[in-house]
Amino acid sequence: MGMLGRYIAQAWLHLLSLCLGSFVAIYLVLDMMDKVPRFLRAGGAAVDILRFFVWKLPEMIGQTASFSILMTTLLTLGLLSRNSEVVAMRSCGISLPRIAMPMLLLGLAASLLLLINAEMVVPFSYERMRSIERVDIKKEGSHAVFRRNNIWFRSDSMILQAQLFDPESRILKGVTVWNLDNSMNPLSRIDAESAIYREERWMLHHATVKNFSAGQGFSMQTMPAMEVNLNLKVDDLRVLDNNADNMSFRKLKEYADNLQSGGYQAHRYLTMMHTKVSAPFAAFVMVILGIPFALHSSRSGGIAMGIGTSIGIGFAYFVINAVLLSYGRSGVLPPLVAAWGANFLFVAGGTWLAMTVKN
């Protein structure tokens, strides 16, 4: 990269630090205004509250980076145009692709870093954040444990293990329930095909009960349906559904595969899985789209023009992407098309706009 490329890259990185820092700060202040009073009422210590927000920073960066990069690109070229630097470069025979290349390379690098952040950093930081909130701040015991696709739950003298949970139908699949005595010796074991939550109770279906309390060996009976007294609510299990966005690509794929093998639709989780890859590359898409917009504005660009244009483009991308994702989660569109559709549409729009810029 020559001197000109380093100059443009330095200006772009400087504005990115300002834009990203500003958006993360706004996000942090709004989130603190919402959560800090509740954490204080729950008796959380200041150091634990601070740790909670520190571990949430990777998630905040991932959610604000694309819009920050769009605004950075528009502001960089807008300020260069307003200062006649773009005109000077073009009068010296420097082509528009060469002017845009440093920003394109930086946008691609940012997308790769965001992908690493989403796949490796955010899942770990989210687990730490949730642990601090539930155990250290709210003083709640960690009763339900989710590891891969297995669900373990202990309720008094009973231990439940299930292969997976479908939040839409409220069904646990592949259920085993152990009833233990005070010495943790098994009294009975129930194996059921499924458990359904209805009217605030769990009903086991196609259950096989093995009773170990009748001397040697065990007695066994099969029941088409039976109620089990578990202190487990659906809201405790919905943690997987509500926070699937913070799971890694691999875990989402495993969960979707298990849902499909169990006979359930997995459109929602397959769409989320593909979105884990497509969402980080929205940053690169924003650079592709922002460059021709900024060059079209020419010397009328600047801070006000850059902010206004970025808000409009960002809102349009958010609406189109949300609509496509909703179609993917409901099964109307293939998950791959729903996850990548907005990116391809805006890349096509940016490419067309770039072709209309006069050399």
pLDDT digits (tens, 9 = 90+) for 275-314: 999 999 999 999 998 888 777 655 455 556 667 777 788 8
Q: How far is CA 197 from the centre of its chain?
A: 27
For residues 130 and 275, state if they share a domain: yes
Q: Which of 247, 187, 234, 236 is nearest to 214 (CA)?
A: 187
Assign 84 a pLDDT band (cuts: 50, 70, 90): confident
For the segment 312-319, the average pLDDT, to the nearest whole number, is 87
pLDDT of 341: 94
| Residue 117 predicted with pLDDT over 60 | yes
Q: Which residues pair with 178 in a beta bridge?
A: 159, 189
pLDDT of 1: 59
| Residue 242 predicted with pLDDT over 60 | no
Q: Which of 105, 117, 119, 102 is nearest to 64 (CA)?
A: 117
Distance CA 7, CA 143 (A): 55
For residues 123 and 190, state if they share a domain: no
Distance CA 280, CA 62 (A): 8
Residue 237 maps to a domain:
no
For residues 30 and 128, state if they share a domain: yes
For residues 10 and 135, state if they share a domain: yes
Residue 150 maps to a domain:
no
For residues 92 and 189, state if they share a domain: no
Residue 247 maps to a domain:
no
- What phi and psi values does residue 71 have, to the nearest 5 degrees? -65, -35
- Whole-prediction pTM: 0.73
| Residue 100 predicted with pLDDT over 70 | yes
Say which range, 22-36, 252-266, 340-354, has the weakest mean pLDDT.
Answer: 252-266
* Residue at a domain's end among 176, 210, 230: 230
pLDDT of 167: 66
* Residue at a domain's end among 179, 210, 230: 230
For residues 45 and 170, state if they share a domain: no
Give yes or no for a contact between 349 and 284, defined as CB atoms under 8 angstroms apart: no
Residue 29 maps to a domain:
yes
Residue 251 maps to a domain:
no
| Residue 5 predicted with pLDDT over 80 | yes
Distance CA 31, CA 36 (A): 8
Residue 49 maps to a domain:
yes
Q: Which of 119, 342, 152, 336 is nearest to 245 (CA)?
A: 119
Structural domain that includes position 187: 157-230
Q: How far is CA 295 from the centre of its chain?
A: 33
Number of domains the chain contains: 2
For the segment 161-189, the average pLDDT, to the nearest whole number, is 81
Residue 245 maps to a domain:
no
For residues 161 and 120, state if they share a domain: no
For residues 191 and 47, state if they share a domain: no
For residues 207 and 172, state if they share a domain: yes
| Average pLDDT across the chain, whole number | 83
Assign 68 a pLDDT band (cuts: 50, 70, 90): very high
pLDDT of 146: 45
For residues 134 and 9, state if they share a domain: yes
Give yes or no for a contact between 123 and 29, defined as CB atoms under 8 angstroms apart: no
pLDDT of 16: 94
Residue 211 maps to a domain:
yes
* Residue at a domain's end among 180, 214, 230: 230
For residues 170 and 196, state if they share a domain: yes
For residues 342 and 201, state if they share a domain: no
Most confident option among 172-176, 213-217, 334-338: 334-338
Domain holding 217: CATH number? 2.60.450.10
Give the angle 120-121-123 at the CA atoms, nearest 5°.
80
pLDDT of 23: 94
pLDDT of 148: 42
